[in-house]
């Protein structure tokens, strides 16, 4: 069973969506309650809580997606490096292979 936020954001299958909503709700609670304790104005505190939710959710969303993109790039580079290691291992193109004097004169 999937949970769709605002009718289009599937929180269960979209990466970073669940954490963003959870951190957004926590930010909303902190900002709204903090503003209420400071000013005792209910309506204005609710406005601040909504703003805190949006800012916290979007901030964590971009932070999480950026880290996810970096992780995917590192995984792709590692996968390509492993493929090259398997492909070139033992050949004359192997960078880890020690070249002797006779191999240097041949090439």
Which single residue is written with the structure tokens 């070249």? 99
Question: Strand runs (DSSP E) across 41-80, as ranges?
Answer: none
Q: Is 53 exposed, middle or buried (0-12, 13-18, 19+ CB in 10 A)?
A: buried
Average pLDDT taken over every residue of the chain: 84
State how far the alpha carbon of 27 is from the alpha carbons of 11, 44, 72, in Å.
18, 16, 28
Reference 94, options 86, 106, 102; nearest CA is 86
Predicted model pTM: 0.69
pLDDT tops 90 at residue 76: yes
More confident residue, 48 or 5: 48
pLDDT in tens, 18-59: 899 899 999 999 999 999 999 999 999 999 999 999 999 999
User: What percentage of residues in the chain have a pLDDT greater than 90?
Assistant: 54
Residue entry with tokens 């916290």: 56
């Amino acid at each position: 069973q999937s949970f769709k936020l605002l009718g289009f954001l599937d929180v269960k299958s979209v990466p970073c969506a669940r954490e963003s909503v959870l951190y957004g709700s926590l930010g909303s609670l902190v900002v709204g309650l903090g503003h209420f304790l400071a000013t005792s104005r209910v309506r204005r505190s609710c406005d601040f809580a909504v703003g805190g939710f949006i800012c916290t959710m979007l901030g964590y969303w971009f932070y999480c997606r950026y880290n996810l993109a970096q992780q995917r790039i590192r995984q792709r580079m590692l996968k390509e490096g492993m493929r090259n290691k398997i492909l070139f291992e033992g050949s004359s193109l192997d960078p880890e292979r020690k070249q002797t004097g006779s191999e240097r004169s041949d090439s």
